[in-house]
Amino acid sequence: MVRKVNTFKGEGPLKNGIGTYRAGELYGIIKISEANCVGCHTCSGVCPTGAIKGSFGDKHSIDVEKCIVCGQCLLNCPFGAVEQMSFVDMVYEKLKDKKTKVVAIIAPAVRVAIGEEFGAEPGTLTVGRLWAALEKAGFLIYDNNFAADQTILEEGTELLAKVAAHAGLKELPIELWGKKITLHVEEFKKYPLPQFTSCCPAWVRYVEVFYPRLIPYLSSAKSPQQMAGATAKTYGARLWNVRPENIFTVGVMPCTAKIFEASRPEFDSASKYLKKQGMKDVDTVLTTRDLAELLKKMNIDPMKMSEEVSRKPEMFKFYSGGATIFGTSGGVMEAAVRFAFHVLSGQSPQSMSPQWDFDGVRGYTKPVASATIPVPLKEEYQKVFGAKELQIKVCVVNGIGTDGAHLKPIVDEVLTGKSPYHFIEVMNCPGGCINGGGQPVHPLELTLWDQLFYAFSKII
Amino acid sequence: MDIKGVSRRTFLKLAGAGLITLSFTKPTFAGDTKEKNFFETKVGKERLKLIKARQSGQYKDDVISREKFNMAASHENPMIKRFYTEFAHHPLSELSESLLHTHYKARV
Ligand code: SF4
Ligand code: SF4
Ligand code: SF4
């Protein structure tokens, strides 16, 4: 079934920046073990950045400068030769320390995959029992789906502000929960459209390393993980009645790039806000696999617990449908469109209404999805926009693709000023985070012929 | 060298024959991917089942959140409303900008 992935302990954050890494960041999170590599070249075929060195038959290695830490090579290496930096021991120790409140920030895609590590079928939904397992292990829960809802409010509003600014408006009144606020949108004019999503750290690093010209297009909204960390140590500390410095936040992610993201030096906003030195918003990250390893070490099997733990309106746990689909390609887009639809039209359909389904933006297993969404405008907006309807044009890049194959045509349009879109979602991993580099590994099946081939090439 | 009746000479002959065949047939996943669409590559095709299973788990959770808890969209989450009412004021507020937004850095 699933395969155990080899892990190693890192050397900690960089003291000084090197190449495409800054001081404080983690370097070399993904590496190829020379001893186990047979030179089959599969990894090169899935790498989005061409970071893997070596031809067929050679020992392969990763050019860390170009690597965006997505872990696709790890997921797909048929020989388990790719290894991941792991912080399981650190979290285990923190859990034993009674003074520390350890907070688990659980990503959407973890709940449809972690069961596989305990013998369940792929896709088995694991929410109540995952919470129960984590609480038994001593964690407080901050469901990252709640943070995904926060992300939509911020990133969706940002998009509306940009669209309004580019339509020539100076102010945009928006109504939320029966309350009116007026956004001053003029300053958003300096940000070009389309807006790109920013919740995939591999994609963000891809932009920073390969396409810095795209930086102004990226949404300024942090990823859900980072919003969760910053919120946990401020508002969360207040609600839980604990000192922020005694909170240890752990991202539980389907993703290896999230390990890198948490180490980015600017992610100490709680520290800045509280004027207390030296706190990271997210202290460390465990992948789905790492969490399974930790739970096994503590003899906790979530699949033996009850899924029927009730989902009550509890802070940091309650989440919307829009939030949970963040884990699949097109989900961030659909959640943003649901929100924008409500704000612009003033309508609130019944929750099961097909009006909330925007099937056209779902990535499924298409390399790119795009759609034009007609949004009826409420009266107030009809005046300011001078139209009855707004056509929102969106695009979803479902995996950057080998050497950027899925992404490049879309980016080329943006860079040449020909992009028709308002909003573009990019997820590094094909299918979305559900197929992320931190998820349980199902080894590719080698044919008998393949096996003979490699057995043979080892002898000669 | 004489493993189970195969002499070194025969072994090398076999090896040679093997190598010739190999130069025509590479193993399944080897080699650079010429396909532009990951889902049509050999690796991609192997992954379809897994990807679809996990995606449908995610959409199942969407249905549960809507059917049982009446929340299709993010602003319908009462805890989100509470978060903004008690703490962050409104999206893009000064507080939101400082805690929930960031900036990026060219790495060249
Ligand atoms: S896929 Fe694995 S074994 Fe094959 S070349 Fe890459 S690291 Fe080596
Ligand atoms: S596949 Fe991802 S993690 Fe692996 S070398 Fe390429 S960029 Fe790095
Ligand atoms: S798509 Fe998801 S899992 Fe993959 S690198 Fe991006 S955030 Fe991580």
B39-57 per-position pLDDT tens digit: 999 999 999 999 999 999 9
**Pocket lining: A427 vs ligand 3, CB cutoff 6 Å:** yes
Amino acid A108: pLDDT: 98
A/B interface, count of CB pairs below 8 Å: 313
- Domain coordinates of chain B in residue numbers? 35-70, 72-102
Cβ burial of A121 (10 Å; 0-12, 13-18, 19+) is exposed
> Which tokens sit at A420?
């028709």
Instruction: Name all domains of chain A by residue range, CATH numbers in brackets.
Output: 7-85+446-459 (3.30.70.20), 88-146+224-304 (3.40.50.1780), 156-198+321-435 (3.40.950.10)
Choose the residue to mutate in A31, A62, A64 for probing ligand 2, maximizing ligand atoms within 8 Å of C-beta: A62
pLDDT along chain A (460 residues), means of 10: 95 96 98 96 96 94 98 97 98 97 98 98 97 97 98 98 96 95 95 98 98 98 98 98 97 98 98 95 98 98 88 95 98 98 97 97 97 96 93 98 96 97 98 98 91 80
Which atom of ligand 3 lies nearest, measured to the CA of A68? 5
DSSP for A438-458 reads: TSPB-PPPPPHHHHHHHHHHH
Amino acid B1: pLDDT: 46
DSSP for A287-307 reads: EHHHHHHHHHHTT--GGGS-T
Amino acid B32: pLDDT: 60
What number of residues does chain A have?
460
Picking from A19, A154, A351, the nearest residue to B70 by CB comes out as: A351
| ipTM of the prediction greater than 0.95, yes or no | yes
Rounded to whole angstroms, how far apart are CA atoms A235 and A70? 31
Q: Which residues of chain B have pLDDT under 70?
A: 1-6, 9, 11-25, 31-34
Question: Quick one: what percent of chain B has pLDDT higher than 70?
Answer: 73
d(CA A7, nearest CA chain B) in Å: 23
Rounded to whole angstroms, how far apart are CA atoms A383 and A314? 39
Residue from A402, A412, A444 whose CB has the most chain B CBs within 10 Å, to mutate: A402
Query: What distance in angstroms lies between residue A71's CA and the mean position of ligand 1's atoms?
Result: 13
**What does DSSP assign to residue A18?**
B
Note whether A324 contacts B62, CB cutoff 8 Å.
yes
Question: Which ligand is closest in space to the CA of residue A363?
Answer: 3
Rounded to whole angstroms, how far apart are CA atoms A328 and B50? 12
Amino acid B33: pLDDT: 67
Rounded to whole angstroms, how far apart are CA atoms A357 and A284? 35
Contact A209, B107 (CB under 8 A): yes
Amino acid A74: pLDDT: 98
Contact B65, B71 (CB under 8 A): yes
Residue from A324, A353, A459 whose CB has the most chain B CBs within 10 Å, to mutate: A324
